[in-house]
Structure 1
Amino acid sequence: MKNTAEFHLRSPVLFKLAGIGLALCLLAIAALGAYLLWTEIIPLYGRIYRDAPVVETPLKSFFVVAAIPFAPVMALGCLIAARTGQKFDPPQKSWLYALQLRSMQLTVALMVVAALMIALTTATLSAKGYWSCPKLRISGSGWQMFWVNDERICFTPDSYINDNWPCKIVGKQNICVQVDGR
């Protein structure tokens, strides 16, 4: 019968590859969070400021942004673990431990801030005279809400162009609503 300790040995090569793979995934998540912040969150407030006829609130994007401070630090931990072949567990008095702790604290704080931002954005839209229009929602997009400030714009689109601009075929003409408020 084999010794049970032999079953618990891990392959050093597999451990290093897993660390590198996880680090790459975490960096991709951080890049996605930065991309969503730049392309979806910041333009959202520009549309509210300009009183755009349609405002799209991508609710998931608020929470992905919370991963921005967490992912690079954890990627660094994965790379250190891959290099050393041991799990990343810095001593409590080291700067790596402090960096890890602060990034986790900031991530949790940003998750709370994300929920508050969603609530404040919803309250701001309501205060500015917008209301939710589920007809504009793209099929299968449950984490996306469209807010309108004109009842004529709340319709079931036949297609979408550009940055989710809704279009309706009227007669032989395809009419699209420019939703960016410009």
Structure 2
Amino acid sequence: MKHPSELHVRSPFLFRSMAIGFALCMLAAGALGVYVLWTEIVPLYGRLYRNAPVVETPLKSFFVLAGIALTPLMIVACAIAAWTGQKFDPPKTSWLYGFQLRSLQLTLVMMACLAPAMIALTTATLSAKGYWSCPKLRISGSGWQMFWVNDERVCFTPDFYINDHWPCKRVGKKDICIQVDGR
């Protein structure tokens, strides 16, 4: 019979493989955060600036931005774990501990404070610029997505969507689509 301390010995190869795998997953999460920032958040404010007829606010995207703050810490932690074969647990007096603490604090602040504040400020700005919510434009099953319009003629129930969620209505044999990017 094995001694109880021998039952909890982990495989160094398995530990290092998991650290590398987790680093790759965190790299993907960070890349997703940058992608969402570039494709959904920045265009939102561009449309708002151009007074586009329709402005789409993907509310979940604001929370994905917190992944950008967490990614560097997790990459460093996983790299150290993969290199040394031990868990990442820096001493409290090291700069790595400070880096870990600040990264976690920044991530929590982004999720709990910054994302809700960005949503509230964006909503207030939309209202101040004369936009109102149009639930008819919402794509089925997209509860975290809102469409704001500044013209009552573009608030309709679309038959289909093209491009970047541009709503379209079929009138007779013609398809009429609203170009929502404001260009």
TM range (shorter): over 0.9
Query: Which residue does 1:162 correspond to in 2?
Result: 163
Query: Which residue does 1:131 correspond to in 2?
Result: 132
Query: Which residue does 2:76 correspond to in 1?
Result: 76
How far residue 46 of structure 1 moved from its aligned partner, in angstroms, is 1.1
Question: 1:1-182 to 2 correspondence within 5 Å?
Answer: 1-111=1-111, 112-182=113-183
Please state whether the residue corresponding to 2:52 is helix, strand or coil: coil
Runs of 4+ in 1 over 2 A off after TM superposition: 1-7
Q: Which runs of 5+ in 1 are unaligned?
A: none
Q: Deviations over 1:54-84 (max 9, x none)?
A: 0000111111111112112112101111111
TM-score by structure 2 length?
0.95
Q: Count residues with an aligned counterpart.
A: 182
How far residue 85 of structure 1 moved from its aligned partner, in angstroms, is 0.9
Please state whether the residue corresponding to 1:129 is helix, strand or coil: coil
How far residue 19 of structure 1 moved from its aligned partner, in angstroms, is 0.5
Looking at structure 1, the residues matched to 154 and 97 of structure 2 have their Cα atoms a distance apart, in angstroms, of: 52
How far residue 135 of structure 1 moved from its aligned partner, in angstroms, is 1.3
Looking at structure 2, the residues matched to 143 and 72 of structure 1 have their Cα atoms a distance apart, in angstroms, of: 28
How far residue 138 of structure 1 moved from its aligned partner, in angstroms, is 1.2
Amino acid at match of 1:34: V
Amino acid at match of 2:131: Y
How far residue 107 of structure 1 moved from its aligned partner, in angstroms, is 1.4
Looking at structure 2, the residues matched to 130 and 37 of structure 1 have their Cα atoms a distance apart, in angstroms, of: 22
Amino acid at match of 1:152: R
How far residue 109 of structure 1 moved from its aligned partner, in angstroms, is 2.1
Amino acid at match of 2:104: M
Please state whether the residue corresponding to 1:68 is helix, strand or coil: helix
Question: Quick check: 19-28 or 126-135, which moved more?
Answer: 126-135
Looking at structure 2, the residues matched to 140 and 77 of structure 1 have their Cα atoms a distance apart, in angstroms, of: 37
How far residue 126 of structure 1 moved from its aligned partner, in angstroms, is 1.3
Q: Which runs of 5+ in 2 are unaligned?
A: none
How far residue 7 of structure 1 moved from its aligned partner, in angstroms, is 2.6
How far residue 105 of structure 1 moved from its aligned partner, in angstroms, is 1.7
Aligned CA-pair RMSD: 1.2
Please state whether the residue corresponding to 1:152 is helix, strand or coil: helix
Looking at structure 2, the residues matched to 140 and 6 of structure 1 have their Cα atoms a distance apart, in angstroms, of: 51
